[in-house]
Structure 1
Amino acid sequence: AMWRLLALAAIAQIVHGSCPSGYDLVKDGECRGFAGKQNVYFSDAPRIAMETCDRVKGAPVIIHNEEHQTYWMNRAPPTDQGFMILGIVCNENTLKYEWADGSPIDYRPKNYNEELNKVCSKEYGWEIHPDGYWSYGGPGSAISGLFFCTTQLEQPLPGGDGCAGFADDEDDGVCYQVGPAARDWKDAQLTCKKAGANLASIHNTKENDFVRRLAVSNGAVDGLVLGASAQQDGKFAWVDGTAMDFENYYPGFPKKNFGDCIAMDVSSTSGQWMNVDCASKFPVACMRQQGPTVEPTCSGDDYDEGDLIVSPGYPFSASTPCDFFLTVEPGKKVQVEILSLEANECCDSLVLYDGYLGGNVIATLTGIAENKTITTNSSNIMRVSW
């Protein structure tokens, strides 16, 4: 039996992505990673480091504590293979060295070049050795510079109106968001789930008009995927389970053999609907209920095959631990598909067990993981611990 698991410790809103490719998600939405290698002069290294990191809206290597120091020294190359450039720059007003983001150098390792304490020079560039030593080089010193960056993902914080970054139509207690095109209808629903929502259901003309205007304002002018699809009896139903109590089809729609999913034509002011192929690639309309922020809890719910499971507090908080117990008939094995995991490598992990009490660990996952399938070795029970 297959379950689909979404366990996010960081970012889940449509408009915000994951860490840049190759970067580690370390903690609290902070991404760190390698940005490039370039032959430079030491005197140019600080400027090039800042320009390089600006491309990912980040900052060069900045060290304020022992955790920062340990992380970066463990990634510094041997000096015969290049130099990891530190984001240390000269403040020509104070004549003191500071970090590239303007923060003071409030941490120093056990071993560093004493030049750091002297009147600064903009002609010097600083680097860190694998043993943690901070050193510098001056003008005319050509090196192979390795540039690493830190960038901060934007957290989806709950808003005062209960919509938390979604658009509020200020009338019926629901919030909407329009996201980029998905691969197909199922992927569109997954996109909404990542934002703590469902594909949008529409129940009156005002909602329909609001969603159409929101789509246009977000540049979605060709079409918009809605949350209705055809069921086994051929009738359309909303994915969120609400009643199909409003319809806005073009005359003659839905048409036979046109498709089993519903999209809105946003090019017309009336925002009429058509049934389309579920593999059509249109932007996505998501909707969730408006509501105050509540403290997340581990529900202990039972799950059926095919259910989508998310961590407590998703997508705003990942601080609540939780165990999920997934079972199938005796003699069968449990299989879980990890659709999306974003866990702080410093302190969060997803542990999967073969069995439950005293079961062997099958996998321990942290950082960023997508589309992984994990199966029990012998047990018909899998314990998933967040």
Structure 2
Amino acid sequence: MTTVIISSNCAMWSHSVLLLAALASVLADTCPDGFTILSTNKCVKLVTEASKHSDATAYCTSLGGNLISVHSVIDNNAYQKLAAVSVTPYWLGIKCAQSGSPKSCLWDDQSGDAGKYNGFAPGFPLLEIGSCVYVPTNSSSAGKWLSGDCDAMILNFICETTPITNTCTFQYNGNCYYPSQSALSEQDAQSACQQECGNLVSIHSDEENNFVQSLFTTNSPTYIRIGAKHSNNQNSNYWIDGSSWDYDNIGYSNPNLGMCWSMALTNDTIPAGKWISSHCDTSLPFVCKRTVGTQCGATPGPTPAQCTSPMFLHNSGSFYSPNWPNSYLGDQYPCTYILDTPIGSLVQIQFPILNLDSQASISLYNHVEDSTPFLVLEANSASDQWYTSTTNTMRVVFQLCISHCLNDGANYNWKAEFKPSTAVTTQPPITVTPNPNNPSGCNSNIMAPGYISSPNYPNYYPSNALCRYHLSTTVGNRIKLDFGAIDTDQCCDYIYVQDGAFTGSPFIANISGTYPAHMKTFQSTSNLMLVTFKSSIYDNKDYTGFSANFCTIQI
């Protein structure tokens, strides 16, 4: 079946590559290696190496895809059948912002919210449990959507991506070519090409040079950008896609004119088809190139034409102004981006490209709920500086001009990159309030040597339990923790061991399932250790929990 490319990744390219959206036709019938095609016409991959939600998201992104989004009963049933080979539940690519409101749950792949279709069990989503969503595979709740703790639960997951495209409109010698009449600088043009998993064009023969020249048949510009640059020593040249410099058609070389290269399409200073040195920041039309069949299931970041709802981004990555790489002017809505990195880290962000008009601003907030930003970026702000939040979350709000907006023809846009950094602030210890479902002593501070156990041990532990045990010994020594027999529901009940006294301390282990005594033994790197036991809301009539002894290791 032949269709016209209108996929989300092409929409993210937006108007930069006009001919791509208008002309390119593809045959979508195969999947990348490791993926299989479902009846939903999506390429999917089940991963049974259980992970936290953020790690699952990062893995899918590394494959050029996303955690799955589900928009129909057919989709839901297909994914459940795929995941049923394991008893471990699987994550969905969605996060919720409000209990009891599926419409507040937004899909990671920017495909909207869960208001029109969802499979939530009654009473869900429930943010008291967590903002992420998972699906059991073999219980009475199989196929239903439940709320889960994004950082505490370790589950299977499914990645999805779009089928590989095997043909393209402009094809030569195993490569696809995408000409754009939009004039951009070398940096912006290369960014646009990379969004489509390609690069500015490299040229390796007279025949390819003639082919590239022929791509502009109407309203031909005088010059176009190609993906060549002078080396820093100015004695050689290279292609930015990394291919070998085995051909050139130089008409005039002079690095004083600029470190980049352009091709003449009409007889001007040099004959048509010849190359000339040019400034990299000069805005020119350009050509992108990528190998036929290259999978491009996801772009480096979302680039919607307009912002109508918050966008949730995890771990690390890039995101862009609306209508990137063209100007964002004309958009009427502010854009909100919610960033989160692993617990124990801080969010760092920079803007390698920052071209704001005089009435636009980008505000950075330490918390999602903060009303006052810790920083506001404007037209004259530095574009190469890293900014750091005080937590592992950050809210970014891009405010556009509302009235009497400037329209001077300039290309206003920006690109943001974010990543986790090691926390430099000390988190306060947990203030423990005994859970009414647990017996006295479930939540406690204990000095070594000592003994801990799950509530009611060795009888069945209650549902919805949350026990935290702060273990400590004398300063300068270490703690050895030795578990007896462990018996918990592998689906949903967990024991977490952390190297320190804080909820943000590094994880030593996440334990779930059944293990014989003395199989799980751990040692801290300081005189403090935190053990947390958490059970699900489901009635437990099968599992006894755990016991553990701990003692001091003298250093």
Larger RCO, structure (CA 8 Å, separation 6 or more): 1
When normalised by structure 1's length, the TM-score is 0.41
When normalised by structure 2's length, the TM-score is 0.30
Tell me which structure has the larger Cα radius of gyration.
2
